[in-house]
Amino acid sequence: MFKHILVAIAEAADEQSTLATVTSLAKAFTSEVTIFHARERIIGPRQTAEQETVEESRAYGHRIAEQLNAEGVSTGLVIEDSRPDRLVDHILAHADAENVDLIVIGGHHAHSLRESIFGDMGKALAHRAHCPILFMPSAE
């Protein structure tokens, strides 16, 4: 049913429950998993705002992929730079390019300040995705 799963995860606090669910799904359906991690970056006229450095984003992505590999899940990794208002476009473009069967969004924050400014990511994904989406709850 789900031969290829794309997992977009960004919050360390939410990763364990998301990875446990993804591991179970991948094992049940013998799925390949692609970890998609976007390094949010906004370039302004006087400064560049970044959530993490290039090295930090790569280390985070590799750590997540290694956890899934250790569980016996075939895992690929994609790390991209993205503006917060273009994150949905990047996720969907990659999902379409890889012909994924399921998108898992780790730690979905339905009403964060970022979504108040840029729009609800979950709503945009739900309306535009060509496959099912699983939104994982945020950590308390």
Q: What is the pLDDT of residues 32-66, one digit of tens each?
A: 999 998 876 556 677 666 667 778 888 988 999 99
Largest pairwise CA distance in the chain:
50
3-state secondary structure 45-77: CCCEEECCCHHHHHHHHHHHHHHHHHCCCCEEE
* Among 10, 30, 25, residue whose Cα is nearest residue 133: 25
Tokens representing residue 138 in the block: 């945020």
User: Residue 6 pairs with which residues in a beta bridge?
Assistant: 34, 103
**Closest to 102 in 3D by CA, of 37, 34, 39:** 34
Full-model pTM: 0.83
CATH topology of domain 4-137: Rossmann fold (3.40.50)
64-115 confidence digits (pLDDT tens): 999 999 999 999 999 887 777 788 898 999 999 999 999 998 865 544 555 5
Where along the chain do its domains lie? 4-137
